[in-house]
Amino acid sequence: MKITEHIKKANGNTQFSFEILPPLKGQNIQSIFDNINPLMEFNPPFIDVTYHREEYVYKELDNGLLKKQVVKKRPGTVGICAGIQNKYQVDAVPHILCGGFTKEDTENLLIDLDFLGIDNVVALRGDAVKSETYFTSEKEGHQFASELVQQITDLNNGNYLDDELQNTSKTNFCIGVAGYPEKHMEAPSLESDIHFLKKKIKNGADYIITQMFFDNQKYFEFVDKCRTAGITVPIIPGLKPISTKKQLNIIPHRFKVDLPDELVMEVVKCNDNKAVRQVGIEWAIKQSKELIAKGVPLLHYYSMGKSTNIEAIAKVIF
Ligand code: FAD
């Protein structure tokens, strides 16, 4: 079932959903199920699974030269989605990227998803490869998520890359895209970022999921600006509970989002990460309650591979 249909069906009640990462290569899928199991009692209508592109690793050879290797540390997004749908009978939503994919690769991936009965995707550009500063697309790939959205919409209309194909089957994907209440790190302004966000909607995206934010006011202002710009699709807030002291530096650096002073000071006062985790849970509960009071359709939690703090929040909220 499409995410937009889940939202309609809930009739104004806020639902619970979450995002997981595939395990590191070498681990098995049970580690994922172990994280999902405790969260199923809160009836998520869907579970997102992130996609992790290739990285370049340099291995030293006996002669002292370096050999460049391309590795995917967290493969398995599609397999995990199929496993989730099969085991739990809930919708799994794979994230799919422009980065590392030609248009042909994307078409073939979408065909696989369609055949597996997966009819939701989140379409993203992806970041630069870790060792590079700027994002570059494949020669025959997409530069921006809006182009990827257009390709999915084309397939939903039965238009494949080979325009000589006849009597083609239409896919039926519901398309989510990313939105940034504090603007995307490369965008010159929030206004410009919303301008391009609108292009993703115009090209066929059905809903927006936001980057994490820790100050609800930023989300409310973002939604107002999107509505003023003529964006009418659901805007699902994404929440991440802080769980370690290190994240005070990592989160602003990696995701370019601000942490409110009050939250920072609470974390600084903690003697260990157990206490930080509790602060993170309480902060996310406070955020969740206020967002529900404002009638958000869903609360989407970033689990980053650990579910115990999400479970503690969901126990209070859902
Ligand atoms: P885009 O929408 O293409 O935007 C990228 C930048 O380009 C923005 O600054 C935008 O303003 C600008 N822009 C857009 N169109 C144009 C244009 N036509 N001309 C000029 N500028 C333009 N990354 C992963 O690798 N795997 C994941 O699973 C993943 N999941 C995510 C889930 C969510 C909810 C979010 C918020 C992010 C996720 N990311 C993931 C990170 C994401 O890939 C990065 O933030 C990436 O840098 C941007 O992706 P995007 O889809 O927002 O890009």
pLDDT digits (tens, 9 = 90+) for 186-238: 999 999 999 999 999 999 999 999 999 999 999 999 999 999 999 999 999 99
**pTM beyond 0.85:** yes
- Kindly report, residue by residue over 2-50, the tens digit of the pLDDT: 999 999 999 999 999 999 999 999 999 999 999 999 999 999 999 999 9
Q: Which pLDDT score, from 0 to 100, does residue 179 have?
A: 98
Across the range 264-278, mean pLDDT stands at: 97
Please tell me what DSSP assigns to residue 310: H
Per-residue tokens: 292: 């529900």
HSE value, Cβ hemisphere, 13 Å, CA-based, for 196? 19
- pLDDT for the residue 131: 82
pLDDT tops 80 at residue 271: yes
* Residue 170: per-residue pLDDT: 98
pLDDT at position 57 is: 87
For residue 156, the CA-to-ligand 1 centroid distance in Å is: 22
| pLDDT > 80? residue 300 | yes
Give the ligand 1 atom nearest the CA of 179: 36
> How much is the pLDDT for 209?
98
Q: Is the pLDDT of residue 245 over 80?
A: yes
Tell the residue nearest (CA) to atom 49 of ligand 1: 125
How big is the chain by its Cα radius of gyration, in Å? 20
pLDDT at 305: 77
Q: Is the pLDDT of residue 306 over 90?
A: no
CA atoms within 13 A on the CB side of 65: 4
Residues lining ligand 1, Cβ inside 6 A: 50-51, 53, 95, 97, 124-127, 144-146, 178, 184, 186-187, 192-193, 196, 200, 209, 211, 238
Q: Which of 53, 70, 257 is nearest to 136 (CA)?
A: 53
DSSP class of 169: P
CA of 197 to the centre of ligand 1 (A): 9
pLDDT band at 183 (very low <50, low <70, confident <90, very high): very high
Q: Which atom of ligand 1 is nearest to the CA of 195?
A: 11
Let me know: does 124 contact 177? Beta carbons within 8 Å. Answer: yes
Q: What are phi and psi of 15, to 5 degrees?
A: -105, 165
Which ligand 1 atom sits closest to the C-alpha of 192?
11
What is the rounded distance in angstroms from the CA atom of residue 135 to the CA atom of residue 47? 27
Q: What is the pLDDT of residue 139?
A: 95
**CA 79 – ligand 1 centroid, Å:** 24
The rounded Cα 151 to chain-centroid distance in angstroms is 19
| pLDDT score of 205 | 98
For residue 132, what pLDDT is reported?
87
Angle at 126 between CA 209 and CA 212, to 5 degrees: 35
> Could you give all domains of the chain from N- to C-terminal order, each with its CATH number?
3-317 (3.20.20.220)
Burial of 221 (0-12, 13-18, 19+ CB in 10 A): middle
pLDDT in tens, 36-95: 999 999 999 999 999 999 988 888 999 999 999 989 999 999 999 999 999 999 999 999
125 contacts: CB under 8 Å, gap ≥ 6: 97, 98, 99, 135, 142, 143, 144, 145, 148
Which is the closest atom of ligand 1 to the Cα of 50? 28
Q: Are 95 and 106 in contact (CB under 8 A)?
A: no
Per-residue model confidence (pLDDT) at position 234: 98
Buried b (16+ CB within 10 A) or exposed e, 181-214: bbbbeebeebeebbeebbbbbebbbbbbbbbbbb
- pLDDT tens readout for residues 114-153: 999 999 999 999 999 988 889 999 999 999 999 999 999 9
